[in-house]
Amino acid sequence: MRLSARPIAALVAALALTAGLSITGTPAVARPDDRAAAAEASDVSIAADTYTWKNARIDGGGFVPGIVFSRSEKNLAYARTDIGGAYRWDQAGKRWTPLLDWVDWDRWGWSGVVSLASDTAEPDNVYAAVGTYTNSWDPTNGAVLRSSDRGASWKAATLPFKLGGNMPGRGMGERLAVDPNKNSVLYLGAPSGNGLWRSADSGVTWSEVTAFPNPGNYAQDPSDTSGYGNDNQGIVWVTFDERSGSAGSATQDIYVGVADKENTVYRSTDGGSTWSRIAGQPTGYLAHKGVLDSSTGHLYLTLSDTGGPYDGAKGRIWRYDTESGAWTDVSPVAEADTYYGFGGISVDRQKPGTLMATAYSSWWPDTQIFRSTDSGATWTQAWDYSSYPNRSNRYTLDVSSVPWLSWGANPTPPETAPKLGWMTESLEIDPFDSDRMMYGTGATVYGTENLTSWDSGGTFTITPMVKGLEETAVNDLASPPSGAPLLSALGDIGGFRHTDLDAVPAMMFTSPNLDSTTSLDFAEASPGTVVRAGNADAAPHIGFSTDNGANWFQGSEPSGVTGGGTVAAAADGSGFVWSPEGAGVHHTTGYGTSWNASTGIPAGATVESDRKNPKKFYGFSAGTFYVSTDGGATFTAKATGLPAEGNVRFKALPGTEGDIWLAGGAPTGAYGLWRSTDSGASFTRLSGVEQADSVGFGKAASGAPYQTVYVSAKIGGVRGIFRSTDAGAGWTRINDDAHQWAWTGAAITGDPRVYGRVYVSTNGRGIQVGESSDTDGPGTDPGPGTDPGTDPGEPPADADCSVAYTVTNRWSGGFQAEVKLTNTGTAAYDGWKLGWTFPGDQRIGQIWNASHQQTGAKVTVTDAGWNGKVAPGSSAAFGFTGTTTGDGTAPGAFTLGGEACAVG
């Protein structure tokens, strides 16, 4: 199962924007210049309704190809994903903290992380090589991001080529490495024949190592003309022998892995000046990893006959003695007995000669993990056959914290549920703790904290260590007026019914199990009736529920169906319209026991239902809107002149017949937001919306006559998530630069029961849930506020304000804080300046959603323009990273315009 995704091909044209590529050396979180246009747009309300954001918990859901432990600080670890960014381990909370949520729409490819590197000399430094595709699917070049505060803020060096975090071979690595002796030196292995690259200034600038002789030649599928399967996988890992250097002097012995089956390992013995192929190395395989045990001088290679991470039919493990130059095949099984390649490998830094490796492509009956305590001379396995097909496991696997990992399966032995894993390309033993080990799979991060029980003959316990790491790709969302607050359609793991947004659901949708759910809908007047459609290896591609998605049964399908397409439920649940892949639009009454072809609408059209009239359905294709008034039997073409390019999504307003909002298009043609109030006979474009990609509705604001409208859009020159409480007359941006999540165009919906709550799709960062601090909601735009002649630093009416200051993260020498300023008065702020005095020697480093000045311990923070107006009862928020030699104690007092604010 492929547990990753990309924006579909049609989307790429809509995302092919080039703004903002030259940000080398610029703080990647703040980017204030990009946001100035918001203050100039008259149709954008800049009342700062502060939102808090979190994930609807699923825990995992995608491929984790890399885990990196710091070699110099205990409990500091990072994980990379192929499409969902990078994370830092929070030991206190036993969870992962996302580090790349700031990645914006224009550079969505930077959410794919091809490699991570932690600086051994300076543990605050971390680097990420980012870029999702090396072909035209990704509109931007790759970059190396650098952080001096453990990923709290970043600067970027854009590269002259693309990187492939979601390309074939992405489980190999790490391609990015910091010299452990001279940490200003970094190396990066590039794909696509671009060779080996080096930085001598801590990642600020990069140049090709022209002396390196081999850029690689292996491609997964040379016959593929898309640029995906036929891309040269290039330079795949870099490893330093730390013994060949000293502090401040560059390491001399460097090993590099190349995607070339005859020449897969090269070495430099003069700090990278010259390179040569190591004689006697194994051939016929690709070295997925190269890990050096500095205590023994052994370099270990895990090899496969392909680049992975799915395929691989043969594999070996070889050991190279760096002192004698001898190569030894130390594979745990005979070559003839392998039906998989070897991927993940790690050495125990506390116990020389102890190492572990994975059979990453052993899909059936399970993956295998191997362990040796004698430098590979002998091995034991995580499981063996006791008497076939029965297994004897050295481990127990407890997935009670993420129960869906069993997939609801009950397989026949020797297969088990849940599985030990698949796509296990990363496995790392904690360098400070021999008992802790983590490994990534195609769906989660597993780990143990009693690993050495393996050696004593006992069993060790494996559990998901994935909390906080959310990597699903979201295709559709629905929030019914009763029942569960959220239903989701997800890539690779189907989708979930969330009855509690803060709890992991027990199971994904089953009966049928769909690899990816492409569309779902519920009957507006009968929310217990739910339908979903999606992709699967075989029929059926559709399922129905009569209890709000708690239980499902399979539907039948028309002949020729190859994929899910889109599906819609009649307002009362009496019938359904389905536009699957591979077959034309069809309709049915009841629950799909038989389907009849619809007429008057082209195959592949997107379909939706009217949310009041059960006989009325809508369709859209290639710039034309279609309407059916007979339950989907016949459609008639209505409005034309709508976007003919790009992705188009539309929704009908709940409870009102014929009120339709349509979002979509492409930069090369029509692109924006349209509304129809006559059931699609005509549409009017909302002039203030430059671009829009998804639209949804939620509970109306207090006193507002129209339901709240949410869009993922570009308004006033700003890309973001916007809300309107007055039917699109005015818009408020509700996310911020620290919460952008790359691409958010697939789906958005408000909650019909909770004002201000919105659910936002991402392509790799799961379902984002936004909660408004304004629980009642403004009925109208709060207006201009104070007299324009008033000094914006002076608040109205005796500084009616409250400040909440929260330190969200601490590390040695630094911290991160969030500040929320609330207007407790009766008049709006028209610009604000917040002041305080730091205890001790604290200094602000990077700040976002505001600007600041600091003199000694005194700080003045000024609004960012777009969040300067703060309505009564509303809030503005900003965040920053800082440095300190102390513990980052919070200030005890705050002033607005010289007057004291309440604290708390």
Which positions are annotated as active-site residues? 82, 492
Q: d(Cα 827, Cα 857) in Å, to the nearest integer?
A: 31
* 626 strand-pairing partners: 619, 637
For residue 349, count other CB atoms closer than 10 A to its CB. Answer: 18
- Residue 898, both tokens: 């010289």
Provide the residue type at 459 as one letter. T
Beta-carbon contacts of residue 353 (< 8 Å; ≥ 6 apart): 293, 295, 296, 372, 373, 374, 375
In the sheet with 586-589, reading across from the earlier edge strand, the strands are 563-569, 575-581, 586-589, 596-597
How far is the C-alpha of 636 from the C-alpha of 563, rounded, in Å?
Answer: 25
- Residue tagged 């854009």 (tokens): 158
Residue 581: enclosing H or E segment and its boundaries? strand 575-581
The answer to whether the beta carbons of residues 108 and 15 sit under 8 Å apart is yes
DSSP per residue, 106-141 = TTGGGGSEEEEEE-SS-TT-EEEEE-S-SSTTS-S-
Rounded distance between C-alpha atoms, residue 851 and residue 642, angstroms: 41
Q: Tell me how far apart the alpha carbons of residues 455 and 354 are, in angstroms, rounded to a whole number.
A: 10
* Omega prior to 123 cis, within 30 of 0: no
Retrieve residue 655's tokens. 């409870």
**Neighbour tally for 886: CB within 10 Å:** 12
CA distance 576 to 264: 56
Cα end-to-end span (Å), the chain: 48
Residue 794 CB-density burial (10 A; 0-12 exposed, 13-18 middle, 19+ buried): middle
Cα–Cα dist 104/13, whole Å: 16
Place of tokens 């020498």: 813
List the alpha helices (DSSP H) in 365-445: none
Residue with tokens 């391609």: 175
How far is 238 from 115, CA to CA, in rounded Å?
11
Supply the DSSP symbol for 569.
E
Environment class of 18 (CB within 10 Å of its CB; exposed 0-12, middle 13-18, buried 19+): exposed
What's the rounded Cα separation, in Å, for the pair 372 and 302? 14
At CB < 8 A and 24+ separation, what contacts does 369-373 make? 369/420, 369/424, 369/427, 369/439, 370/332, 371/454, 371/455, 372/330, 372/332, 373/455
Per the CB < 8 A criterion, the answer to whether 346 and 291 are in contact is yes
What Rg do the C-alpha atoms of the chain give, in angstroms?
A: 28
Burial per residue of 486-510, b for 16 or more beta-carbon CB atoms within 10 angstroms, e otherwise: bbbbbbbbbbbbbeebeebbeebbb
Phi, psi angle pair for 310, to nearest 5°: -95, -45
3-state SS, residue 493: coil
| SS3 per-residue string spanning 758-818 | EEECCECCCCEEEEECCCCCCCCCCCCCCCCCCCCCCCCCCCCEEEEEEEEEEECCEEEEE
Sequence letter at residue 644: A
Give yes or no for a contact between 719 and 105, defined as CB atoms under 8 angstroms apart. yes
- Residue 596 corresponds to which tokens in the numbers above? 């009849």
Residue 575: left if φ>0, alpha if ψ -120 to 50, beta else—which one? Answer: beta
